[in-house]
Amino acid sequence: MNSNCRKIDKLRLQIPSFACVPGCHDCCGPVTASSEEMARLPVKSDAEHDAALAEYNCVHLGPQGCTVYDQRPLICRLFGTTPRLPCPQGQRPEEWVEASVERQIHQLIASTRQVLV
């Protein structure tokens, strides 16, 4: 396992969780992820990507929500856990993600090649 994969796993454990509003997918738009994160996700066809982008959705958004929830990228995990990426429905964890963890996530994103999920 390379160092970025270890960083990703370590950061994932530090992001608080919270309950989403059932049926809401407001934050499930197109996002980018590193190649390490993409390797954890199923490969989608160009047609599937095009259809999702036409709706401004993530290609992994299904009728019941995120189809890759356990492996979703860090940026998806960060949504709703910081005042800088608030949940459109006002949901949030009891405690915001620690500022140092948020900085580390943004630094990792900035330091790795990102591709459209």
29: Cβ–Cβ under 8 A, 6 or more apart, which residues? 56, 57, 58
pLDDT in tens, 13-64: 999 999 999 889 999 999 999 999 999 999 999 999 999 999 999 999 999 8
Strands (E), 35-106: 61-62, 65-66
Q: What is the pLDDT of residue 3?
A: 87
Residue among 12, 4, 50, 58 nearest 31 (CA): 58
Strands (E), 54-116: 61-62, 65-66, 114-116
Q: pTM of the predicted model, to two decimals?
A: 0.92
Q: What is the pLDDT of residue 2?
A: 81
Q: What is the pLDDT of residue 115?
A: 94
Q: What is the pLDDT of residue 11?
A: 97
